Amino acid sequence: MINKCEIEDLELVYEKPKTLTDTPMHYCPGCGHGVINKLIMEVIDELKIQDKTVGVAPVGCAVFEYRYMDIDMIEAPHGRASAVATGVKRVNPDKYVFSYQGDGDLAAIGTSETIHTVNRGENILMLFINNAIYGMTGGQMAPTTLIGQKTSTSPFGRSVKNNGFPLNITELISKLDGAFYVTRHSVHKPNSVRKLKKAIQKSFEYQKENKGTCFIEVISNCPAGWGMTPLKSNEWLEENLIPKYPLGDIKVPTKN
Amino acid sequence: MNMKYDNNVKLMKGNEALAEAAIRAEIDGYFGYPITPQSEILEYLSKNFNEEDGVVLQAESEIAAINMVYGAAGSGKRVMTSTSSPGMSLMLEGISYITAAQLPCLLVNVSRGGPGLGTIQPSQADYFQSTKGGGHGDYRLIVLAPNSVQEMADFVFDAIYLAEKYRNPALILSDGTLGQMMEKVRLPEKGSLPKSIPEWAAKGKIKNKERNIIYTSAVDPTVMENLNKELQNKYALLQQEVRYELSQIEDAEILIVAFGLSARICSKAQEMANDNGLSVGLLRPITLYPFPSDTIYKLAQKVQAILVVELSAGQMVEDVKLVVNGSCPVFFHGRMGGEVPTPDEIFFELKKITDKQAVKN
Ligand SMILES: Cc1ncc(C[n+]2csc(CCOP(=O)(O)OP(=O)(O)O)c2C)c(N)n1
Ligand code: SF4
Ligand SMILES: [Mg+2]
């Protein structure tokens, strides 16, 4: 870290969140996970809830996010983060609890936990990082992989015949009565980053009011898994993923 | 632990006595999924657990239930789940995580006949799964085996006490009969088990203190081996908690080793045998892990033979043979799939052994 006094004479225009540790992140260059990790901590800083928050990390590329987040955290088994978060929240209703999961974690192995956590309206924030691939295990097909998209287990492109259709789980859970706020964002442009931050902020505020489950999908990139440069991956994301997973609010709280 | 008991004697089902004991042991949460023959635990708690004291939640599966236990235990709360054999199989991944993260919690398996969907009758065929780890990796559970409704209630306190002392899940391994049968019971009173939020709990970072992280992974195998060493050291310490019950072992020529329900049946057979001029002692392991190895070894030097009786094809008998290590012959009698031996059946086995030993002598 740069020593503060070295830049004493300069005007401070940007600072990393205080609750983000100095541990170098293990994510590949250009990966969306790092941006999302940082945004969560920015919001926790601004809301001053570091001492009241428990995060639940997934098994996936974000498994070590607790190295970067200076809050109490629990590392869940693959797919079970929302059940672990339910456990924490139910016996600590006064705490802010969030879970953070990839597409394999939340929409394949953990589908049952995802649906039932939302259906019970657990008063937590669920963050769903959709990069249409299994990043951590080396780029295998995910439930959200697009038709025709090549991965190490769909080397000729995902086919409907063999693999069925990409799973749009966010629209699915938005139909459940327990879902209070459901929204989809991305982190591939400065403007989308700002919007995502607002959504995270709102979700923690709703949680304070015991409103029910807040669910944020983030369309993210995986330059390593997709075999692209970070720049190219963001272009590919915009041209291919966003048309299939359109950005914006899916369920917003009705007035009164 | 300073146990205080209610003066009233009640007539209760094993499952209900266990559930009532959990309330009196001041649990903060129960997470479970219905399965016979233990659904009364969830039902009793749903009806009788005070909302202000914590949560009772019917999960969508045993997988979800054990992970809720993991989260809640990780936040430092006193929590439990209960299930029967097939549900236990589903929980094993989560239990492995809880053990690796060194979290205390209470697990209950009111086991039934298997494999597969099996039957809802009593079985002890989950002995291996319970005492050898069960899930992946080198871990052990603290395992207590009740043999009465009274012990179904008492062991809730013992198990939680040991789980919190050693930061390791403790399992009450019961069976369908003990869960369903009604007996007289005196319930332990609230306040017998003091509780506090441990300093390692992930429940919101305390200012100017290191954050608490509950995790089970390591990139570096050296780090993982060190965690394993820590666990093994803990299990070595745990050996001091071994518990067992002996009956009529002075001058015994044959020693029966049996736990839980089969120990009860064996004690009837023992009575019949001793009335008929045989000399039979009984050792009932109360903790299946840690296992009463030393005592069994010592007794094996004195008796002519050992008979192990289980509601399985023979699982604990392997541990007995390992300990006895050829000091005396070890015989086995078991019933499977939910069948239970009669005292006569065991008495007959004892007579066969006596005859064989007499021929040898
Ligand atoms: C029970 C179990 N099955 C499989 C795995 C292997 N595994 C680890 S992460 C993962 C998928 C990760 O993909 P995703 O959830 O999309 O996260 P990403 O790495 O893309 O962020 C798999 C299959 C595991 N750890 N546990
Ligand atoms: S593999 Fe993909 S998701 Fe994982 S860190 Fe690298 S770029 Fe990010
Ligand atoms: Mg992914």
Q: In chain A, whose CA is at the least distance from the CA of B213?
A: A73
Per-residue pLDDT of B335-347, as tens digits, reads 999 999 999 999 9
| pLDDT score, position A232 | 98
Q: What is the mean pLDDT of each run of 10 residues along chain A (256 residues)?
A: 61 92 97 98 98 98 98 98 98 98 98 98 98 98 98 98 98 98 98 98 98 98 98 98 98 81
Q: Which of A35, A61, A231 to mutate to test the pocket of ligand 2 (most atoms within 8 A of CB)?
A: A61
Could you tell me if the CB of A102 is within 6 A of ligand 1? Answer: yes
Q: Rounded to whole angstroms, how far apart are CA atoms A235 and A255? A: 37
- Examine domains B5-195+216-240 and B244-360 and report if their fold is the same: yes
Which of B27, B211, B224 would best serve as a mutation to test chain A binding (most A beta carbons within 10 A)?
Answer: B211
* Domain assignment of residue A161, yes or no: no
User: What H or E segment, with its residue span, contains residue B44?
Assistant: helix B39-48
Structure tokens at B306: 């050992």
Average pLDDT over residues B31-57: 96
User: What H or E segment, with its residue span, contains residue A243?
Assistant: helix A242-244
* Domain assignment of residue A152, yes or no: no
Could you tell me if the CB of A34 is within 6 A of ligand 1? Answer: no
Residue B297: band (very low, low, confident or very high) from pLDDT cuts 50, 70, 90:
very high
Q: Which residues of B touch A52 (CB under 8 A)?
A: 204
Asked if the model's pLDDT at residue B360 lies above 90, the reply is: no
* Domain assignment of residue A16, yes or no: no
* Closest listed residue to residue B277, CA positions, set B223, B206, B193, B355: B355
Instruction: Check CB contact under 8 Å for A72 and B59.
Output: no
Could you tell me if the CB of A61 is within 6 A of ligand 2? Answer: yes
Average pLDDT over residues B176-193: 97
User: pLDDT over 90 for what percent of chain B?
Assistant: 96
Could you tell me if the CB of A89 is within 6 A of ligand 1? Answer: no
Task: Output the domain CATH number for residue A121.
Answer: 3.40.50.970
* Domain assignment of residue A3, yes or no: no
| pLDDT score, position A139 | 97
- A39 Cα to chain B: minimum distance (Å): 19
| pLDDT score, position B2 | 84
* Domain assignment of residue A15, yes or no: no
Average pLDDT over residues B128-140: 97
Distance from residue A103's CA to the centre of ligand 2 (Å): 13
Residues 6+ apart with CB under 8 A from A135: A31, A60, A61, A102, A222, A224, A225
Q: Which residues of A touch B71 (CB under 8 A)?
A: 56, 74, 76, 83-88
Residue B359: band (very low, low, confident or very high) from pLDDT cuts 50, 70, 90:
low
Q: What is the ipTM of this complex?
A: 0.96
Could you tell me if the CB of A217 is within 6 A of ligand 1? Answer: no
Instruction: Check CB contact under 8 Å for B57 and A85.
Output: no
Per-residue pLDDT of B78-116, as tens digits, reads 999 999 999 999 999 999 999 999 999 999 999 999 999
Q: Which residues of A touch B75 (CB under 8 A)?
A: 54, 74, 87-88, 91-92, 95
Asked if the model's pLDDT at residue B361 lies above 90, the reply is: no
Interior angle at CA B294, CA B290 and CA B299, nearest 5 = 130
Torsions phi, psi of B192, nearest 5?
-70, -20
| pLDDT score, position B184 | 98
* Domain assignment of residue A195, yes or no: yes
CATH class for the region spanning B244-360: alpha beta
Check residue B37 and report its DSSP letter: T
Average pLDDT over residues B195-214: 95
Structure tokens at A241: 């993923």
User: What does each C-alpha distance from A222 to A15, A76, A102, A233, B130 come to in angstroms?
Assistant: 26, 22, 11, 7, 41
Cβ-contact B278, B353 below 8 angstroms? no
CATH class for the region spanning B5-195+216-240: alpha beta
Q: CB burial class (10 A; 0-12, 13-18, 19+) of residue A254? A: exposed
Instruction: Check CB contact under 8 Å for B70 and A95.
Output: no
Q: Which of A65, A105, A129, A133 to mutate to test the pocket of ligand 1 (most atoms within 8 A of CB)?
A: A105
Instruction: Check CB contact under 8 Å for A83 and B214.
Output: no
Average pLDDT over residues B118-144: 97
Domain with A108 in it: 27-141+168-251
For residue A31, give the ligand nearest its CA: 2
| pLDDT score, position B356 | 85
Strands lying side by side in the sheet with B170-175: B55-58, B29-32, B79-83, B106-111, B170-175, B142-144, B287-289
Count of domains forming chain A: 1
Dihedral Cα B44, B48, B50, B51, nearest 10 deg: 50
Q: Rounded to whole angstroms, how far apart are CA atoms A190 and A65? A: 22
Residue B357: band (very low, low, confident or very high) from pLDDT cuts 50, 70, 90:
confident
Q: Average model confidence (pLDDT) for chain B?
A: 97
- B46 Cα to chain A: minimum distance (Å): 15
Structure tokens at A209: 């009011």
Q: Helix (H, G, I), strand (E, B), or coil: what is residue B168? A: coil
Cβ-contact A89, B75 below 8 angstroms? no
Cβ-contact B102, B168 below 8 angstroms? yes
The domain locations on chain B are 5-195+216-240, 244-360
Instruction: Check CB contact under 8 Å for B77 and A92.
Output: yes
Residues 6+ apart with CB under 8 A from A109: A78, A79
pTM exceeds cut of 0.95:
yes
| pLDDT score, position A6 | 60
